[in-house]
Amino acid sequence: MKLVELKKGIYWVGAVDWNIRDFHGYSTWEGTTYNSYLMVGDKITLFDGVKNEYTDTLIARISEIIDPSKIDYLVVNHVEPDHSGAIPQLVEIIKPEKIFCSDMGQKALAGHYHYSEWPYQVVKSGEEVMLGNRKVIFQEARMLHWPDSMLAYLPDEKLLISNDAFGEHLATVERFDDEVDNSRLMGQAAKYYANILWPYSPLVQKIIKTVVDLKWDFDMIAPDHGVIWRKNPGQIISAYAKWSDCQAGNRVLVVYESMWKSTEKMAAQITHGLADAGLDVRQYRLELNHRSDIIADFLEARGLVLGSPTLNNQFMPQMADFLSYLRGLKPGKKIGAAFGSYGWSGEAVRQMNECLENMNFQLADQGLRHQWVPTREVLRSCYELGGRVAQEVKNYRFE
Amino acid sequence: MKKYVCNLCGYVYDPADGDKESGIAPGTPFEDIPAGWTCPLCGASKDDFSAE
């Protein structure tokens, strides 16, 4: 395989995982990559590892450039096993002089692999380190997206090794942003942000500000998943600035589950009502869509209309799954409403309203529930509910 | 005394326990923790906490 040299003497030596489809509850329909970067100089450094089962692939790639045992330093920017799984075996082969990580990184490495004797070299945020003749500045990025997360900036190479930030789950033979279709790339980047980084949006804002204040000058971002941004690294930074600021358009999702199609009929009319009011509306039946795909689409939406029948005094289990996942992502500045058909007790709409309020959604309506199969009049009310939600979305003013 | 939750990672500061690692003695109300204190789990600043 051709060597991928992103900057002079800095090589991509990661692995492409074409087959992964479930990443702890996040659907990776297009696979992913685990990126690892080898920097050759007076000293040889490896930035980040790969998932355990790709250790041999990593070692083979390094071997095309140098003898892996010649590596002097390991940098562990993030301890999650998809990046650090290879570390124990690498340590055995390389016997590194130093393993650079954050304070939290050392704790997490020890907690994962239980080697207290490894040559940890804990770096502080902003610390400048010479790796042989090449300078690196480490910057902690706590909770982006683990407490140990770190960025490594190489000022002389104008390169930012950004760990999980600015990455996406996308398996390709291409390694650079300009080699893949941009809408496909940005779609996966948005999905990654929504499912991994969304809850930490205030920290994303902070780190962007820090990087600006520090006047870091880079023309390339090399994340640990997906492609390397060399043509337009500004594009992904602007996108992160927008997403972390809760900016959204006139998009509303109608997300529902149904038992005997009554709630589904209601959903269809609400969707019509929203569409006729000129909104960008998308309808998702929970059973047929993966939670992480709906979440990806919700990132830039302003409104969410939830529908569920009542099953044994509760909303449907698919709705419980979705709402539990959504709550963890802490979406900000959203508008919500709920609807559903029911047989006798009919608690689901009230319960969904409560969930929306607990997530600080602004309720656009008290919601709409109907016993048994909706009549023409009820469907008309659903259409009108769509219109009311649309009005709230249009009137929403960004604070 | 009120417990405080880290808005970023969910850690709960319980005044009854304090935060031994940072030298915050048990019985210290959240308000009396020095301003430079950070969340022991994720490093968030004191401003990032809310009353439970």
Q: What are the domain boundaries of chain A? A: 4-244, 253-394
Q: Nearest-CA distance from B13 to chain A in Å?
A: 17
Residue B32, pLDDT score: 96
- Average model confidence (pLDDT) across chain B: 92
E strand or H helix that includes residue A223: strand A220-223
Is the CB of A104 less than 8 angstroms away from the CB of B43?
yes
E strand or H helix that includes residue A385: helix A376-395
E strand or H helix that includes residue A265: helix A262-276
Query: Using one digit for the tens of pLDDT, what is the confidence trace for A100-111?
Result: 999 999 999 999
Distance from C-alpha of A203 to C-alpha of B29, rounded to nearest angstrom: 26
A78 is catalytic: yes
Residues in Cβ contact with A358 at an 8 Å cutoff, skipping those fewer than 6 apart: A327
Residue A139, pLDDT score: 96
Residues B2 and B52: beta-carbon distance below 8 Å = yes
Residue A51, pLDDT score: 98
Is the CB of B42 less than 8 angstroms away from the CB of A147?
yes
Distance from C-alpha of A364 to C-alpha of A396, rounded to nearest angstrom: 10
The reply to whether omega before A290 is within 30° of 0 (cis) is: no
Residue A54, pLDDT score: 98
φ, ψ for residue A369, nearest 5 deg: -130, 150
Contacts of B48 in chain A (CB under 8 A): 202
The helix, strand and coil proportions of chain B, stated in percent and rounded to the nearest 5, come to 15, 25, 60
β partners of residue A221: A160, A229
Closest residue of A to B11, CA-based? Answer: A147
The CATH number for A253-394, chosen from 3.40.50.2300, 3.40.50.360, 3.40.470.10, 3.20.80.10, is 3.40.50.360
Residues in Cβ contact with A109 at an 8 Å cutoff, skipping those fewer than 6 apart: A76, A79, A84, A87, A99, A101, A115, A118, A120
HEC string for A112-125: HHCCCCCCEEECCC
List all residues of chain B from 18 to 47 with a beta carbon under 8 Å from chain A.
41-44
Query: Using one digit for the tens of pLDDT, what is the confidence trace for A117-151?
Result: 999 999 999 999 999 999 999 999 989 999 999 99
- Select which of A30, A48, A82, A224 is catalytic: A82
Query: Using one digit for the tens of pLDDT, what is the confidence trace for A321-345?
Result: 999 999 999 999 999 999 999 999 9
ipTM exceeding 0.85? no
- What totals of helices (H) and strands (E) does chain B contain, helices first? 0, 3
Residues in Cβ contact with B40 at an 8 Å cutoff, skipping those fewer than 6 apart: B11, B19, B21, B22
Q: How many CB atoms lie within 10 A of CB B15?
A: 20
Please tell me the pTM assigned to this model: 0.95
Residue among B8, B9, B48 with most chain A CBs within 10 A, to mutate:
B8
Amino acid, single-letter form, for residue A3: L
What would the CATH number be for the domain defined by A4-244? 3.60.15.10
Indicate the pairing of strand A73-75 with strand A44-47: parallel
Residue with the bigger pLDDT between B45 and A184: it is: A184
- If you count residue pairs, one on A and one on B, with CB atoms under 8 Å apart, how many are there? 20
Confidence of residue A166 (pLDDT cuts 50, 70, 90): very high
Distance from C-alpha of A51 to C-alpha of A17, rounded to nearest angstrom: 9
The token duo for A353 is 């309203």
The token duo for A21 is 């489809």
CA A368, chain centre distance (Å): 33
β partners of residue A252: A281, A303
Kindly report the CA angle at A31 between A26 and A34, in degrees rounded to 5?
95
Residues A228 and A12: beta-carbon distance below 8 Å = yes
- Average model confidence (pLDDT) across chain A: 97
Distance from C-alpha of A188 to C-alpha of A149, rounded to nearest angstrom: 21
Q: Check if A142 contacts B (Cβ < 8 Å).
A: yes
β partners of residue A338: A306
Query: Using one digit for the tens of pLDDT, what is the confidence trace for A37-71?
Result: 999 999 999 999 999 999 999 999 999 999 999 99
Confidence of residue A398 (pLDDT cuts 50, 70, 90): low
Name which of A304, A261, A311 is nearest A283 in CA terms: A304
A148 is catalytic: no
